[in-house]
Amino acid sequence: MPGAVIDQEPELLVEQIKRFNDDDLGALCEATDAAIIDGGGFGWVTPPGRRPMETYFRGVLLVPERELFVARLNGDIVGSAILVRPPRNNEAQAFAANLMHSYIAPYARGHGLARMLTEAVEERARELGYHILNLDVRETQAVAIRMYESHGYVRWGEHPEYALVRGKSVTGYFYYKRLRPAKTGGGQ
């Protein structure tokens, strides 16, 4: 039918990124700003400005124990997550990695990208041989909490003064997910 608008399925992609081009870095900073303004638990309470954010993300790529994953909607970066491996001198906890700073910009939510991002980080952690993936989240992030819990993460604790947001204490919840069967014997 001439002039008819055909709804197309959005193009969704999650990938590990090892270097930025200027467009990707700009889109990542824009998505991060939007998530921070929306109350996302990225760590910042207010956007720090473009230069500090660019420096932060470039720095993430330089740290050998960190791997940056991005979510794309129709080719544009709209969110990210970081897989953090334990330092080499932490033999006792060498079986566990952390999922940090995971978010999708508010304008890109509702497509399943948060779940895809989480699954990509989990898969990479499995590839690297980790048995456990840990994460923490602010109590105010109800949608993220529901997604993690529905994805098999187990809440093991909470911290009543986890974050200070606009002068008010916010509780934080701590989660883990077993990626491989538990080791038995030997005190492990």
| Run of H or E residues at 62 | helix 50-62
Q: Which residue has the tokens 């001198």?
A: 89
Question: What phi and psi, each to the nearest 5 degrees, are found at residue 95?
Answer: -85, -10
pLDDT mean over 96-104:
97
pLDDT of 185 above 90: no
CB 85 within 8 A of CB 97: yes
Structural domain boundaries in the chain: 12-178
Task: Give the integer Cα–Cα distance in Å for 41 and 26.
Answer: 20
CB 95 within 8 A of CB 130: yes
- Give the predicted TM-score (pTM) of the model: 0.91
3-class secondary structure, 154: strand
pLDDT(87) > 70? yes
Task: Tell me the per-residue pLDDT of 159-168, one tens digit each, with 9 for 90 and over.
Answer: 999 999 889 9
Q: In 10 A of CB 130, how many CB atoms?
A: 21
Distance CA 132, CA 144 (A): 19
Predicted local distance difference test score (pLDDT) of residue 144:
94
State mean pLDDT over 33-37: 95
Examine the pLDDT at 50 and tell me if it is beyond 90: yes
pLDDT at 3: 59
Residue 135 is encoded by which pair of tokens?
């994460």
Q: How far apart are CA 38 and CA 82, in angstroms?
A: 20
The whole-number average pLDDT for the span 75-96 is: 94
- Please give the CATH number for the structural domain made up of 12-178: 3.40.630.30
Task: Give the span between the Cα atoms of 30 and 51, in whole angstroms.
Answer: 12
- The per-residue pLDDT for range 138-176, each reduced to its tens digit, is 999 999 999 999 999 999 999 999 999 889 999 999 999
Average pLDDT over residues 59-76: 97
